[in-house]
Structure 1
Amino acid sequence: MTKNTPAAQDTGHSHDYLPAAGRDSMLPFYDILTRLLGAGKVHRSLIQQAALAPDTRVLEIGCGTGTLTVAAKDAQPRADVVGTDPDPLALARAERKIRGRSGIRFERAYAQDLPFPDAAFDHVFSSFMLHHLPAEVQPVFASEALRVLRPGGRLHLADIGGNITAADGYAARRMLRNQHVSGNLRDGIPRLLRAAGFDCEEVDSGVYRHVGRVTFYRATRPA
């Protein structure tokens, strides 16, 4: 889970991004908080859906402290894995998780401006990041994800959204009133990704107690 945004004036801090934990002072508690919110289950599902093969190149956009990036490397030790985030403090914590390991690294980058050549990756991951991007940045993120994927490569995205209803529980009802999630509701995410040029399908959806409904998407760059 991470939060990329260029609109610092909207987030109550002096950065030009939203820190991984919302505030720098909360970063020491970030991994604990995300575990409580169910991030581990979401990460395991994304990795299972990706079915990473040996010698593939994998990118996570908005990696925060690197938990999903590291889990992807653990799942496929022969993959070359990169995590990106605009938050240098979060990346410093991510770096400590991979000390002494090869084939995995972290780079500072914004979701809308990835420092990689075209067709550089076989898989791209995005976990709980999209709804933190301003509406005008989301199409740029989608285009950048498409650009860095090879033809036939896939974006594996999980976020709060999809067909959320009041029957999904208290957290879901709160999310229905959350302006940051409004673009993710119903078919908002597939429409965004298809507009960028992806072939997109919903893979799974389920209710998570503390965040409401989480929906998983697989978006393929056409060959």
Structure 2
Amino acid sequence: MAAKRSTQSTDLPGSELDPAKMPGHWLLARLGKRVLRPGGLGLTRALLDSLAIGPDDDVVEFAPGLGVTARMILERKPRRYVGVERDAKAMQWTARQLPRSPNVSVIVGAADQTNQPDGSASVVIGEAMLSMHTQERKRLIAAEAFRLLRPGGRYGIHELAVVPDDMPADQKQEIDGMLSSVIHVGTRSLPEHEWRALLEGVGFRVVASGYAPMHLLRPRRLVQDEGVFGALRLAKNLLLDGAARRRVVAMRRVFEHYRNNLSAIFLIAQKGLD
């Protein structure tokens, strides 16, 4: 039986906060945006295609957010799906978007300490969440994915990357600082070689990668991700909410200012068989 769809913005995480202070991704969600990944639905589809999820897979998703990727995963008919979401409101929202099934669950938990059994997954996936953490927390989350996976299992990530790969540290810090100031969440993006090193450092072997422009707030991407009606809904809500509009304009200004230095990236890493 299909799950009920909730459309109430008051059900969303951070809905009780002032628009001037709430995290940018939840502000966009409140305005009606449902795809909150840096590479959009296109890069998520490419990630899922490369992961080749099928009926023999047990999938764990870190930070499923609004459940968009979770629904795409379930279309591929895995044997089991578990979403691990640290925010109770987000967990409840996602659970309402998914079919009621003994093989589908969303739990409250931390991505670096899920309390799920060793080797209980064949696929672990996380999108747009590692970029928000310190380097040590990134490492702990990647290590948790490694622990959860059986030998041969795959870990897929979809994150924000900085380019070029040899960007000076001070320039990278400038970009992170500007992003953090408008998103109101600490942002610590990495160049590709550092994303690879992170995964390899906890024991993985990177087996696939892909890129997309970071066009989260460009009109064409909005229509691609949200559909025409979804994009119009977002535009209408922006017109009606001056405080939110000022925040979104500030975010877009920073994204555009650094458009040549921001990219979306996916990587797939595999756990060895020995």
Higher relative contact order (CA closer than 8 Å, sequence separation 6+): 2
Moved more, 117-126 or 127-136: 127-136
Moved more, 180-189 or 107-116: 180-189
Match for 2:197 among 179, 191, 194? Answer: 191
Q: Secondary structure at the match of 2:93?
A: helix
TM (norm. structure 1) is 0.76
Q: Secondary structure at the match of 1:136?
A: helix
Structure with more strand by fraction: 1
Structure 1 residues 175 and 83, CA, compared in 2 at 3 Å: closer, same or farther?
A: farther
Tell me how far 1:176 sits from its aligned partner.
6.7
Tell me how far 1:43 sits from its aligned partner.
2.1
**Match for residue 105 of structure 2?**
105
Q: Does 1:135 align with 2:135?
A: yes
- Cα deviation digits, residues 129-183 of structure 1 (max 9, x gap): 1111122211111110100000000101111115448xxxxxxx99971155555
Separation in structure 2 between the aligned mates of residue 219 and residue 24 of structure 1, nearest angstrom: 26
**Match for residue 119 of structure 1?**
119
Tell me how far 1:28 sits from its aligned partner.
5.2
Q: Does 1:204 align with 2:210?
A: yes
**Match for residue 64 of structure 2?**
63
Structure 1 residues 88 and 54, CA, compared in 2 at 3 Å: closer, same or farther?
A: same
Equivalence map 1:31-46=2 (5 Å): 32=33, 34=35, 39-46=40-47
Matched to 1:127, the amino acid is: E
Separation in structure 2 between the aligned mates of residue 35 and residue 26 of structure 1, nearest angstrom: 11
TM (norm. structure 2) is 0.63
Structure with more helix by fraction: 2
Number of equivalenced pairs: 196
Structure 1 residues 49 and 130, CA, compared in 2 at 3 Å: closer, same or farther?
A: same
Q: How big is the alpha-carbon RMSD for the aligned residues of Structure 1 and Structure 2?
A: 2.9
Tell me how far 1:104 sits from its aligned partner.
1.4
**Match for residue 50 of structure 1?**
51
Tell me how far 1:84 sits from its aligned partner.
0.8
Structure 1 residues 91 and 186, CA, compared in 2 at 3 Å: closer, same or farther?
A: same
Separation in structure 1 between the aligned mates of residue 270 and residue 26 of structure 2, nearest angstrom: 38
Separation in structure 1 between the aligned mates of residue 34 and residue 121 of structure 2, nearest angstrom: 30
Matched to 1:217, the amino acid is: L
Matched to 1:205, the amino acid is: Y
Matched to 1:177, the amino acid is: I
Structure 1 residues 59 and 67, CA, compared in 2 at 3 Å: closer, same or farther?
A: same
Moved more, 195-204 or 147-156: 195-204
Moved more, 27-36 or 208-217: 27-36
Structure 1 residues 42 and 128, CA, compared in 2 at 3 Å: closer, same or farther?
A: same
Matched to 2:112, the amino acid is: Q
Bigger Rg, structure 1 or 2: 2
